[in-house]
Structure formats: C-alpha cells, structure tokens
Amino acid sequence: MCGRFAQKDSPRAYTAYFSLDPEAPTPNAAARFNVAPTQSALVVRFNPQEKRPELSLLRWGLVPSFAKDTSRAGSLINARSESVAEKASFKAAWEKPRRCIIPADAFYEWRKEGSARQPFAIALKSGAPIGFAGLWEGWKDPASGEWLRTFTILTCPANPLLAHLHERMPVILRQDDMARFLTASDPADLMQTYPQDEMTLWPVSSRVNGVAHDDAALLERVYPPPAAPEAQASLF
C-alpha cells in the first residue's frame, strides 16, 4: 500500500519530467516530504477542455461522486488495481476515464521490529520521479454546492524488495506508458509490479510517523546505534 509520500520537486520540475505543456497554469505548491491522507498533493490529470494533461492540486482520499458525505475519504487512499474496474467506488473513475498520475520522489513503508515499527523510504535507483497510477473524482457538496476533487493511488502485489515491508505496493508507471494510462479505454495491462532491481530503499527517522513533521531531513538515511562494547575481561 502507500500511506505517505514525498513531493520535493517544484511544479515546474514535474511539468518538465512528465512532458506537460509549460504554458499551462501551474499550481502554487511548496516542497512536501510527508504527504499524508486528507492532505492536498500535486496530481497529473487530463483536462478534456484543453485536451492535454495538466498539474492540479487534489486532496488525497477518494470521495466517490455518489457519496452522501466525505466521511470515508480517509479509508479510500488506495485501490486494488485487480478489482478497480468492478468496485462501485472506483468503477466510474476508471472507465470515464478519470485516471491520474501522482508524482513522488519517494514513498514510505514501515517494517515491524519487535514492538517498534521502522520506517523506510523507497525510491527509484535512477533518482527520477516516480509516477503512481491513480484515480480522481469530483464530489459536489450538497449543502454549499462547492466541488471537492480527490484522488486515490492504485496498488498491486509487492515485488520481493518490498514484500518484507508490505504485501502491496503502488502501481508505478513507466514514462512511456503515462499518456496511454490517462486516456486509453482499458490500460489494465499497465497494472504491473515494478521491478525490484530498479528500486532502492533505506531506513529513515521515526519522525516521519508524525504528520506535523515535513522537512527534508525525513528522507535522510539513519544508521542503527552502535552495539554496546563487550565488558572488558579482568586482567587479574
């Protein structure tokens, strides 16, 4: 699954990497190192009026268009790619299509170690941005008439590198497949597990556990404390 991620690059950098129109409006977004559910993040989605993909700021945690309220948004941060075309909450977004790509420079996953949980940052070995496959929806507040636009991240079985952390991982799109994912009638063949030999991970500080922490230090590698020296044998 994916419960936290980082977007440390600028909107202009993502515009260039994802081959978006440099003349299109760009959201004003600061670097983020600990994006959490119900927070806003940069998303690439197709603009049917302009007939081009663009960057938008959407809230993480999908609210289906038919929902009565937003109470379930926190539980719909991920969607299983294997069943997304059948599940009521995601079917319309998959077919319309209202698919999107979520840029990320890394994401976090936790491994249980005794009574503690050690967080790890995960990224591409190349250092290039990750493109998560996702879905977005628009929900109209019946009371105010205002629109809320939200997204979810699609998941697939984890590769061996990540399987010791969690059995699921985000669907990561290759750069050449991104345009087709956004507009094809059925890009189910792109819902593949990304190869482990193109990814890397490293332990990071447990500060990432707190959503209030959002700084570059969260991505720094931490090292285990040195082992306690053995007691020196008595010379007498």
Angle at CA of residue 205, ends 200 and 206, nearest 5°: 115
Q: Examine residue 97 and say whether the peptide bond preceding it is cis (omega within 30 degrees of 0).
A: yes
Three-state SS annotation for 203-232:
ECCHHHHCCCCCCHHHHCCCCCCCCCCCCC
What pLDDT is stored for residue 236 in this prediction? 36
Domain assignment of residue 111, yes or no: no
pTM score of the predicted model: 0.93
What pLDDT is stored for residue 49 in this prediction? 85
Q: Is 130 exposed, middle or buried (0-12, 13-18, 19+ CB in 10 A)?
A: buried
Residue 108 confidence (pLDDT) above 90: yes
Domain assignment of residue 145, yes or no: yes
CA gap 178, 171 in Å, rounded: 12
Share of the chain above pLDDT 90, in %: 86
What's the pLDDT band for 229 if we cut at 50, 70, 90? Answer: low
Residue 210 confidence (pLDDT) above 60: yes
CA gap 213, 207 in Å, rounded: 7
Domain assignment of residue 203, yes or no: no
Instruction: Give Cα 143 to chain centroid, integer Å.
Output: 31
- Active-site residues: which are they? 2, 109
Domain assignment of residue 121, yes or no: no
Domain assignment of residue 218, yes or no: no
What pLDDT is stored for residue 225 in this prediction? 62
What pLDDT is stored for residue 233 in this prediction? 44
Average pLDDT value for residue range 164-188: 96
Domain assignment of residue 215, yes or no: no
Q: Is 66 exposed, middle or buried (0-12, 13-18, 19+ CB in 10 A)?
A: exposed
Residue 214 confidence (pLDDT) above 90: yes
Rg (CA), the chain: 20
Average pLDDT value for residue range 4-14: 97
CA gap 92, 65 in Å, rounded: 9
- Domain range enclosing 67: 5-105+130-194
What's the pLDDT band for 234 if we cut at 50, 70, 90? Answer: very low
Average pLDDT value for residue range 93-115: 95
Q: What CATH number does the domain containing 138 carry?
A: 3.90.1680.10
CA gap 228, 51 in Å, rounded: 62
Domain assignment of residue 151, yes or no: yes
Domain assignment of residue 150, yes or no: yes
Q: How many domains does the chain contain in total?
A: 1
Residue 212 confidence (pLDDT) above 60: yes
User: Which residue type does 52 have?
Assistant: R
Average pLDDT value for residue range 193-212: 97
CA gap 178, 131 in Å, rounded: 8
What pLDDT is stored for residue 226 in this prediction? 56
